[in-house]
Structure 1
Amino acid sequence: MTQTAEYEIVLDLDAPREQVYAAWTTPHRFARWFGPRIFTTPADRVVMDVRPGGAWQAVLVGDEGFEVTLEGVYREVDGPGRLVFTTGDPDHPGDGPASVVTLTLEEGEGGTTMRFHQFGVNTDQEHAHQARAGWLEFFERLAEHLAVQATSSKVSSRP
């Protein structure tokens, strides 16, 4: 029997929608925030073919060379407002967990509302709770990355 679980995270980010979208779709920017703090994600180990049917992959590196590879396929690409991608293969997950993520970015006054919805297969509510906690840590790092980008943009635009 296949178990499913889903959840949504909504965040207001202090950055333009185009910058948030770029952080999700540009390997060197994605590498700066993707993953828990105990891992690094080297930019040269991130692959993104951002188009419907294109693959993405990120290798997270931990202590003593421990590695975790996350990967999937883009299902919808409608930048800078929407991305739909998989983690694993939710159509043929085998025994492992897999999911579909829908990311929407809505421009607001002075920032962007990011809606992150994840629907998982071969998972239960406990695993979904753990995944949600992990994504929240990732998104803290995303907000920090966007703040650094905003600061460096202001500095570089000064006469």
Structure 2
Amino acid sequence: MQTAEFEIIRGFDAPRELVYAAWTTPERFARWFGPRIFVTPADRVLLDARPGGGWTATMIGDGGFEVTLSGTYREVDGPGRLVFTTGDPDHPGDEPASVVTVTLDEEGGGTTMRFHQFGVNTGAEHAEQAKAGWVEFFDRLAEHLAAQSTASKSSARPRA
């Protein structure tokens, strides 16, 4: 069985509660989860963010091509930490599966996210592809958080 792991550290100009909500609220998760060539409709996202709860997200590409990812939450300690699986790393069969740990730390009015993924049945090439995919997802997450921040700042301004 091949194993591989990687870490991505990313800063966001948003409070950690907002970053955590982007991971745990289907409507927000749907806005950033997946590569840009896919859409992830909110009604195709299930996030039962509690230990033992499941998560599922279906991404839809051109011509209706669908990719569904799913797993189980192992730890939910919001707004600072999520641990979840993709697939079933305890019984993966021949399929790639992994454990993801996301930690969110407040820093200077923003949030530092540490994303760690450990995969089984995952070679180095697959891990590099997964890492590149997550980097694109997190670019989209940064855009979503910036839009949320702009919207909340403009709604907080007094109206003339």
Q: TM-score, normalised by structure 2?
A: 0.98
Q: Distance in 2 between matches of 1:109 and 1:157?
A: 21
1:64 aligns with 2:63: yes
| Aligned positions of 1:43-122 closer than 5 A | 43-122=42-121
Paired residues, number: 158
Give, in angstroms, the shift of residue 110 of structure 1. 2.1
Matching residue of 2:15: 16
Structure 1: gaps of 5 or more residues:
none
Q: Distance in 2 between matches of 1:27 and 1:83?
A: 15
- What's the CA shift string for 1:23-57, capped at 9, x where partnerless? 00000000000000000000000001110000000
Matching residue of 2:127: 128
Q: TM-score, normalised by structure 1?
A: 0.99
4+ aligned runs moved over 6 Å, structure 1: none
Q: Distance in 2 between matches of 1:136 and 1:105?
A: 16
Give, in angstroms, the shift of residue 158 of structure 1. 1.6
The letter of the residue matching 2:51 is P
Structure 2: gaps of 5 or more residues:
none
Q: Distance in 1 between matches of 2:94 and 2:101?
A: 23
Q: Distance in 2 between matches of 1:15 and 1:136?
A: 18
Q: Distance in 1 between matches of 2:51 and 2:100?
A: 14
RMSD: 0.4
1:32 is paired with a residue of what secondary structure?
A: helix
1:31 is paired with a residue of what secondary structure?
A: helix
2:103 is paired with a residue of what secondary structure?
A: strand
Matching residue of 2:144: 145
- What's the CA shift string for 1:36-90, capped at 9, x where partnerless? 0000000000001110000000000000000000000000000000000000000
> Percent identity over the alignment?
77
- What's the CA shift string for 1:135-155, capped at 9, x where partnerless? 000000000000000000011
Q: Distance in 1 between matches of 2:155 and 2:71?
A: 35
The letter of the residue matching 1:91 is D
